[in-house]
A and B are shown apart, each in its own frame.
Chain A
Amino acid sequence: MTALTRPVRRLFGRAAAAPAGLDDATAAAPSVAIEQPGIAVEIPESDPLFAYLQAAPGPVDVTRLELASAALQQLRDAGVALVVPLVTQGELIGTLNLGPRLSEQEYSTDDRRLLATLAAQAAPAIRVAQLVREQAAEAAERERYEQELKVAQLIQQQFLPRELPKLAEWQVAAYYGPARVVGGDFYDFIDLGDGRIGVVVGDVTDKGVPAALVMARTHSILRAEAPRLVEPGKVLARANELLVPEMPARMFVTCLYGVLEPASGRFVFANAGHNLPYLRTDHGVRELRATGLPLGLLPDVTYEETEGEVGHGDAMLLYSDGLVEAHDPQREMYGFPRLREAMAADDADSDLLDRLLDGLHAFTGGGWEQEDDITLVSLRRAAGVAVAGWTGDRPEVALTHDATPATAGEPLLVFSIEGAIGNEREAMTRVAAAVAPLGLEGPRLERLKTAVAETVMNAIEYGSQGRADVPVDVRVDADDQAIRVQVTDRALSGPVPDAEAPDLAAKLDGRQKPRGWGLFLIRHMVDAMDVSTADGLQTVTLTLARDGR
């Protein structure tokens, strides 16, 4: 507690003090003329005088008080003779300090009584004034803080890409979710001018405006250096060299920078202490490893480069730690294993980032306050088979494709079979007989037969659940260009599940079951496979060009 002593000429003496909490306007009121500079006397709670004054029944004559107190000595040195404690609700909130009476007589009993009454009435009012001032200060601080958050957000958003690169055969997606207290996450795509794309994901330690400024600086350096140096290791080394002398204390930047060749799927990257990217392929999910110190910590750092390949149908995820370090209400962390599982469940039919975020929100629950920025960047390459007119929005073999290719004219063949296991052999034979007059080349006919058999087998197993009383319908159409076979089932088990991509090595090692080849074979046998659902029926349409490979 601080008591400001301001010597004043007034009724009770030559020197008096305004209690703590009164502002200058009050102290400078007409009846309180300042004669000399004020002296601040602080009475810490640990000083015995504090407890003495708090318990004192009225004004205290400090000239006679015997107490081993530094504050008491300070008061005496400042010429204070009488201290009137201002106590409200048992709490000492200030003192009224008076010098000796002008008459050089001691304060009378009446004086003391009057002062005690004054103090009793003034103390609550002063306390209110103190609280108002404290609240005003807090509000100002809050406003300043909110303003800083807004500035940080503005800086942050200014440097995030406004649009994603459009790459043929690639689906590029990004998500940036700022925490309330903005962290220093950033991501970027840099056109390297030769078809290659630089991909950046980074995170500045610390939060708020300082982190946002460092993020902006790092972003600018990478934008300037990446097209010039290209090689990820060199780009990060250069960024580190420039950032080290500028980096504020206790701050650094984790950053992953890679160069993607969209045509080949080759991804070469270097890593400055950032989370490792996940690559999902037909063989499962794996981390692409590269190590290196964060940017801005130490000079003369080199960064190793690692090369990965995003094959057809594969997906790669780059992310910041806001995702893996999110907590549920029981304070359990989301963690890498969950992310890996979510990644493994990725398929061409859903948006990977939506899936990840849905999973995260299910994990954290409704009332979650995001602790850190979350940044996700996914690069998914279209499946390499049966690509026809893919626009970049979705692969052509989407199992939930709505459009059924139009078929004109009379069908070559329409029939139904019982949904019993093994009947696919009969369906295959009948379709082969129906298309025989079209003169399809031997190998192509064999492929069509296998695709039909596998499709009907799926229809029997899932659509009819192996029940003879639930039929499967087959229709064969042909025109000059193509043969189309439509297999319609009753969808008793819902849509045909898109099984885990078969990996023979995993199957031989027991990591995958031996089965699961059906869709894989179909996709390799025909030029296109479409699935449509309507009125509780599911139809798979197989298309084979008549003069293809």
Chain B
Amino acid sequence: MDDTRVRIDVEPSGPSETTLCLHGDIDVFADAALAEAYASATRDGATSLRLDFDDVGYINSTGIALIVRLLAEARRDRREVLAVGLSEHYREIFRITRLSDYLTIVETPAAAVSLEEAAP
């Protein structure tokens, strides 16, 4: 499927943490890109994933489903997931869908700390 609406950069952001920088819309067209990005992030043995939504303007219900799928895989693989850069509106959507119960939402990229750093 055409994925020109989205680009995902996969970047290491800590010893065991990888950041998926999402650019564009998270909808049906992000399917392959998100799956690829997850596979790439986990190949290097990252135990936590940071999803950076700072450059995302639109997430629809299909996009929510893709995030659920990624979260399910991460839980299966015992990887923790962190979400940064979500707008107030999408934080609300993550809350009512209860995604916020299963991943850690950090309100601004500046405040985002990796799970490793936050650990005692």
Contact = CB atoms under 8 A, between A and B. Distances in A.
Query: Do they bind each other?
Result: yes
Interface of A: 421-422, 424-425, 428, 442-443, 446-447, 450, 453-454, 457, 502, 504-505, 507-510, 513-518, 520-521, 524
Given A422-B28, A504-B99, A443 B65 contact: no
Interface in B38-79: 58, 60-62, 64-66, 68-69, 71-72, 75
A508 B96 CA distance: 16
Interface string B6-50: 000000000000000000010111000000000000000000000
Given A443-B88, A517-B97, A424 B69 contact: no
Interface of B: 5, 25, 27-29, 58, 60-62, 64-66, 68-69, 71-72, 75, 87-89, 92-93, 96-99, 101-102
A425 B68 contact: no
A142 to B, nearest CB: 64
A533 B101 CA distance: 38
The CB with the most chain B CB atoms within 10 A, among A514, A516, A520, is that of: A514
Given A425-B27, A504-B102, A524-B96, A443 B61 contact: no
Given A510-B72, A517-B61, 10 more contacts: A454-B60, A502-B97, A504-B99, A505-B98, A508-B68, A508-B72, A508-B75, A508-B102, A517-B64, A521-B97
A62 B9 CA distance: 118
A518 B97 CA distance: 11
26 contacts: A422-B27, A422-B28, A424-B60, A425-B27, A425-B58, A443-B88, A446-B88, A447-B89, A450-B89, A453-B60, A504-B68, A505-B98, A507-B72, A510-B72, A513-B65, A514-B68, A514-B69, A515-B62, A517-B65, A517-B97, A518-B61, A520-B61, A521-B61, A521-B93, A521-B97, A524-B96
A422 B89 contact: no
A424 B25 CA distance: 12
Nearest to A444: B89
Interface of A is mostly: helix
B31 to A, nearest CB: 11
A364 B61 CA distance: 41
B92 A443 contact: yes
A518 B61 CA distance: 5
